[in-house]
A and B are shown apart, each in its own frame.
Chain A
């Protein structure tokens, strides 16, 4: 039997942009158990729903996370619209889908950069963040904001995008597709990347089911679970879309799924731009929410859950978000079991943890 040690990992660590702590129980260099600990920066944003009117709270919901800001705004609006039986215009659904898929590309490129940086692949880090800038430029051009852009509102969206501008976006994305292809082909063939990712951090299909993992984490374990398949609040059913999945169950597979999702999102946006109808972008909202509603949305990191409860006043009594990282923490702990200590940063990075979301 080897030497038993407990090594603290985080909350400050070069691969962790946000604070999370792991107690790693090691047997020599092998991890036998990992105990996660969060809660360093819990903000209590759910509670603020009692202090802000339900129409204003969308600005708070967006601030749950700086990466999936649009998605959280949409998730909140979707749940309130469901509660109030509001049917938003079709053009607004298209616009929401376009912005959300752009956010997914932005999130996955940001993750790719962090992943590359974590393994010392600095040129890939710079190239993926350079490409991400193009998405942020599109956000700025279409909404005025680069990170939190408040495009979503209850009843639709705040801003329209001119058709000529939409076609300009499609041209930018076609160019981006080739560039993403070039850098990711190198990433997946580079022997150092392969040796650091292949057969590392195994999360078997059975373990993915048992840990109730979501998003690319579960899709890389052979389960094509993607809420966009069932989502009617966007226009996913009108687009040619199949969830990306693989059954390699390792870090390499999780990277591959995210990269393929970038291409899938690029395709979906171009399809949506071709099909977007003319029309209104919002409907008026009358009355106050009364009752309760459950909603879900596929965020870049996986399925997010939203719950709202109202009592026919201007303030909701409860707003609840269960973020994807909340569900992926147990899966991460499972993937860490039996790995080498040196592989822990790679495994943590391949779950793409968002502590900002988790500490909402």
Chain B
């Protein structure tokens, strides 16, 4: 497996597939590494990365604007840091974050609400 491995989850199979895939990875001994959110014209592209024996496995899917996703903190508690960050910066709703770890939009003290929600203007775009 190369460290650039990417498994794409089809929209119709989410969110059941996400939790199922993550549970499979946990069962296989994978370590949670990160969640990356990227603003794309179709919505928000989410990439979940996991590691085992220094090899990465990435799960990828795209959410439409306003669409929410279930938290994976029930399987990997440390994901709350990335999930709160994605919620605060991009405005992606993350449901069922572990008790006491859902900061409800107050994880980051921001001057502007969800500053990375809109598609970037200028630069590369």
Contacts and interface: CB of A to CB of B under 8 A. Distances in A.
Q: Which of A51, A294, A316 has the most CB of B within 10 A?
A: A294
A211 interface: yes
Contacts of A212: 31-33, 76, 78
Interface string A28-44: 00000101011110101
Contacts of A326: 34, 81-82
Nearest to A23: B100
Interface stretch (A143-151, A317-325, A344-352): A317-325
Contacts, number: 90
A211 B32 CA distance: 9
Interface residues of B, number: 35
A315 interface: yes
A50 B81 contact: no
Interface in B37-74: 38, 47, 49, 54, 56, 58
Nearest to A312: B124
A342 interface: no
Interface stretch (B7-15, B16-24, B102-110): B102-110
Q: How large is the interface on A (under 10, 10 to 19, 20 to 34, 35 or more residues)?
A: 35 or more
Given A37-B107, A315-B124, A317-B125, A211 B36 contact: no
Contacts of B32: 212
B38 A318 contact: yes
Contact of A322 (B76, B82, B108): B82
B31 A330 contact: no
Given A212-B32, A330-B77, A42 B110 contact: yes
Interface string A222-239: 000001011000000000
A39 B88 contact: yes
Interface in B85-125: 88, 100-101, 103, 106-110, 115-116, 120, 122-125
Contact of B78 (A37, A211, A229): A211
A40 B109 contact: yes
A320 B36 contact: yes
Q: Which of A50, A51, A210, A212 has the most CB of B within 10 A?
A: A212
Interface of A: 33, 35, 37-40, 42, 44, 47, 50-51, 209-212, 227, 229-230, 293-294, 296, 303, 305, 307, 309-311, 313-318, 320, 322, 326-327, 329-331
16 contacts: A37-B106, A37-B107, A39-B109, A42-B109, A47-B116, A50-B120, A51-B122, A51-B123, A212-B31, A212-B76, A212-B78, A229-B54, A307-B47, A309-B38, A317-B124, A322-B33
